[in-house]
Structure 1
Amino acid sequence: MDRLRKYIINNLYMIFLSMFMPLFAIASVIFMIKLATYTAVIQLTLWDMVKLYLFVLPEILFYTLPLTFFIAATLSLFRLSTDNEMVVLFALGIHPKFIIKTLFKPAALLSALLMFNFLVLFPHATTLSSNFVSYKKSEAKFNLSASEFGHSFGDWLLYIGKDNENETYSDVILFNKNKKEEIIISAKRAEIINDAGILRLKLIEGEGYSYSKEEFSQIDFDTMYINDTMRTDLAVYRTPLEYWLSNDRKESKTHMMITDTLLSLFPLISLFLVVSIGVVHVRHQKGRIYLYLFLGVLLYYGATLGLQKSLVYYTIPTVVITWLIVTYIIYKKNIVERF
């Protein structure tokens, strides 16, 4: 029995890998095209693109693994059927439930991995990706250069005399005017500092003047910071549970929780359907396997998305119980009674 179990699993793994790599590559290309749209807003290096890709990697795996397992498991059984190996197994007294038990372990392992992926890894990856893009957007606002025209720097008008090679600036002048006073600051050198998402302008060796109707003041300084002119809004959370229970984007998280839970369970609760579609008697049955695969995926995903508005979280037990009952009836009628 162990050899037979290993033989079935090996067939599953071979087909799984041969299908997973193309699907993963296609999904990666789609997400990379989506990430490339960020370059219209912010400047990204090749390493920045790699970082963003790593942040969406859990999402890519989540949407490719369940579908790949369902199709690969069905096709592996169909291959054994077309080679008449499945008929031989049943002739030797192997019950169809042996196949269910054999596929149960990899299906349960995959479902557990998918649950961990979206419950734990997804909040981290989503937060890191969002913060990274926010940081880059704020950094883009500081894309300063020497020019005969000034730059808008928060409430300040900024003039830069010269760009230096070490990402610093020379002959910097800032001007601010409001109803009560006017302020002008000049510095020999300046540089941009990012401190935990807060971008600052550090001024070195300069002087400042303040003028109002009541007084005129002047200061000399070695170092001055212009703080909090442009703050990057970074998302912060301590645990995945805190992420899922927070009220931020609550409606979106509810939809995500329902959909991802059902997709995580898809490999496990579809084993009856996998055997029903994959196990055929070639001489007596026309294996419309690809049509059945398409209909199976369409019905499950359609029920997952279509029932959420009316049932909300009750969608999960409704779809799981209904799917198990219906697929078991199909399995008992097409497989158990026939083989």
Structure 2
Amino acid sequence: MRLIYKYFLNHFFSTNLSLFSVLFLIVSMVFFIQLARLTASIEIGFMDFLKLYSFMIPRILIFTLPVSFFISLALMLHKLSRENESIVCFALGFSPKYLGRFFLALAFVVSCFMLIVSLIFVPLASKLQKNFVEYKKTQVKLNLKTGEFGQNFLGWMIFIEENDGVKYKNIIMYNPQTKDKDKEQFIIAKEGLLQRDQNSLSFRLIDGNVYNFNESLSWHVGHFNDMTINSELSDLDPREENIYQYWKKMFSDDDRAKEFVIYTLIALFPMASALFALSFGLVTYRYDKGMVYFGIFIIIGLYFGIFSLFYKPPLLSVMLIFASFFIASVIYFKKKILSKY
């Protein structure tokens, strides 16, 4: 029996490795595009880019490993059934019940690992990424180009006519009204200097005018000889929240609740879907071609669709959705597989 387990496991690992590599590459490309947007405001080197990418690896694993586990298991078993190898094992007395227990145990190990990744490493990596980006904003040269419209700096739209390498000259800045209490502001300055220290980034403006606009269409003009626009980098606050505090916010923050439900249920997907994979993959190919591809799309679509819609209350949603799919997989496996073999 140990040789049979090893035989199935070797086929599963070879199938899963190729599929996981493809999915990992595809999802990585999506995250690469997100990282590339950072260069719109700051300049980073290749090593910094790789460091930012490493912070995203936990999230990439979340969206690839559980899905590849389910698809690989179903396709591997379907391939062996097509070649009648699984049927031979059952004819020699090896029960599908043992195969189900074996892959459920493997799915349990994978789900436990993914829970650690999703509930511990994802928040830590997210915080490290934010701190790294904010730190880089104070250390690297900003990518402010002369003669270009639409650039953003500290929440201001900015246009710079000249740059001699030290000072910016003939600067126009516009701050739109984003909140009711904010004022629409317009600044024209002859010169500007970028200043930074450990926890802040500022822009010093020399010899210019400030225009404030109100909702009543009235406006005020003020002249300045020297003015500094500051931005405190609050994300570098040393009083960082721990993992418990991070997830505790899911009871008051809908976005955090949805994040918890999505990451947790994706991590539990191998256990919830393992018996479905066996049910779709194990067929008597001579009489039944099976519906492995249709079944894969249905299970993934239902599972991911349901937890994307129902995430409140978060803990109850996780338990109900996971339990429903797991119980349904057990019933379907007994009806379709154990009743025949």
Q: TM-score range by the shorter chain?
A: 0.7 to 0.9
Residues 274, 247 of structure 1: alpha-carbon distance in 2 compared, 3 angstrom cutoff: closer
Deviation, structure 1 residue 247: 7.5
Deviation, structure 1 residue 228: 10
CA RMSD of aligned residues (A): 3.3
Identity of aligned residues (%): 31
Work out the CA distance in 1 between the residues paired with 2:144 and 2:39: 18
1:103 alignment partner in structure 2: 103
1:293 to 261, 277, 296: 296
2:334 alignment partner in structure 1: 332
2:284 alignment partner in structure 1: 281
Give unpaired runs (5+ residues) of structure 1. Answer: 146-151, 154-160, 164-168, 171-189, 202-226
Work out the CA distance in 1 between the residues paired with 2:89 and 2:281: 14
CA contact (8 A) 1:237 1:243 kept: no
1:30 alignment partner in structure 2: 30
Work out the CA distance in 1 between the residues paired with 2:67 and 2:117: 16
1:302 alignment partner in structure 2: 305
Residues 248, 285 of structure 1: alpha-carbon distance in 2 compared, 3 angstrom cutoff: closer
1:117 alignment partner in structure 2: 117
1:317 to 306, 316, 319: 319
Deviation digits for residues 281-314 of structure 1 (CA, Å, limit 9, x no counterpart): 00110222111111111111112112225x5432
2:55 alignment partner in structure 1: 55
Calculate the TM-score normalised by the size of structure 2.
Answer: 0.73
Deviation, structure 1 residue 139: 4.7
Residues 191, 301 of structure 1: alpha-carbon distance in 2 compared, 3 angstrom cutoff: closer
Deviation digits for residues 33-90 of structure 1 (CA, Å, limit 9, x no counterpart): 1211121122222222111111111101110001000000111111211111111111
Deviation, structure 1 residue 262: 1.0
Superposition pairs of residues 184-333 of structure 1, within 5 angstroms:
194-195=197-198, 197-198=199-200, 229-234=230-235, 236-246=239-249, 250-309=253-312, 312-333=314-335
Deviation, structure 1 residue 134: 2.4
Deviation, structure 1 residue 249: 8.2
Work out the CA distance in 2 between the residues paired with 1:253 and 1:32: 24
1:175 alignment partner in structure 2: none
Secondary structure in structure 1 of the residue aligned to 2:286: coil
1:76 alignment partner in structure 2: 76
Secondary structure in structure 2 of the residue aligned to 1:308: coil
CA contact (8 A) 1:198 1:228 kept: no
Deviation digits for residues 218-254 of structure 1 (CA, Å, limit 9, x no counterpart): xxxxxxxxx9944212155253112222489822111
Give unpaired runs (5+ residues) of structure 2. Answer: 146-152, 155-162, 168-192, 204-227
1:9 alignment partner in structure 2: 9
CA contact (8 A) 1:138 1:230 kept: no
CA contact (8 A) 2:82 2:285 kept: yes
Structure number with bigger Rg: 1
Deviation digits for residues 173-199 of structure 1 (CA, Å, limit 9, x no counterpart): xxxxxxxxxxxxxxxxx996642x345
Residues 43, 86 of structure 1: alpha-carbon distance in 2 compared, 3 angstrom cutoff: same
Give the aligned residue type for 2:25.
A
